Amino acid sequence: MKSITINGSQRESVGSKATKALRNAGQVPCVLYGGDKSVHFSAAELAFSKLVYTPNAHTVVIELEGGETYNAILQDIQFHPVTDRILHVDFYQVFENKEITMDIPVNYIGNPRGVRNGGVLRKNKRSLRVKALPGNLPDYIDANIEDLKIGNKLYITKLATDDYTFMHPDNTVVCLVRRSRAAVVVDDEDDEAEGEEGDTPEETAAE
């Protein structure tokens, strides 16, 4: 998984007055959890643009003045209700030998057969929550939907891999192709034609 570096400075004071001063200076107060102790630091607001304003998932390398470095993931972020400026960011420290849970975007591949016949693709999941060692976290999860016909659903079990575990029930529908008024009923006819031309009666019956 790709990583983004955040350069920051450790905070000496965590009171509301000091926090307000940081924000007025264009800095964002942050906290890193998950290690032996919580680490309070601040970083420039612009440093978070590639991390926050993107659909992609990233791990984070936090580099503080003095040479301290931490590997982490974004845990929580607070925005101003009116201006949408970043008010506070929480990070969670990660370790190579300890599994973590993270939301990974889904990369849909192909144009479904059912859509070509007039159906409508409904993407139920734009991202999926997975649990894995940091080194096994993917940038995205590929979902090949080329063969989906009208009425077909893609279940999460079809995307299973040994690298990570999905934190969703096995009956979770990732996407489906719905029938629309403009849909052309050709899928079944095409299947029958294929059976007549290339398959034996036994093969056709098995399908």
Which tens digits make up the pLDDT trace of 67-115? 899 999 999 999 999 998 999 999 999 999 999 999 999 999 999 999 9
> Of 68, 93, 118, which residue sits at a domain end?
93
CB 122 within 8 A of CB 141: no
C-alpha span between 179 and 185 (Å, rounded): 10
* Pair (197, 104) in one structural domain: yes
Q: Which two tokens stand for residue 91?
A: 């990070």
Tell me the backbone φ, ψ of residue 6, rounded to 5 degrees: -115, 120
We report the CATH number of the domain holding residue 85 as 2.40.240.10
We report the CATH number of the domain holding residue 106 as 2.170.120.20
DSSP E strand stretches across 48-205: 59-64, 69-79, 86-93, 100-109, 120-123, 127-132, 141-144, 153-155, 165-166, 173-178
Q: Which two tokens stand for residue 142?
A: 């590929």
What's the average pLDDT block by block, 10 residues per block, for the chain (207 residues)? 92 82 91 93 92 90 92 94 92 95 96 93 96 94 96 96 96 94 58 46 38
* Pair (107, 200) in one structural domain: yes
* Pair (112, 34) in one structural domain: no
Q: Which two tokens stand for residue 198?
A: 């290339």
Tell me the backbone φ, ψ of residue 147, rounded to 5 degrees: -90, 5
The pTM of this model reads 0.79
> Of 93, 109, 133, which residue sits at a domain end?
93
Domain with 132 in it: 100-206
Structural domain count of the chain? 2
Cβ-Cβ contacts under 8 Å for 92 (sequence gap 6 or more): 32, 33, 34, 72, 73, 75, 100
* Pair (185, 122) in one structural domain: yes
* Pair (65, 155) in one structural domain: no
* Pair (159, 196) in one structural domain: yes
* Pair (105, 202) in one structural domain: yes
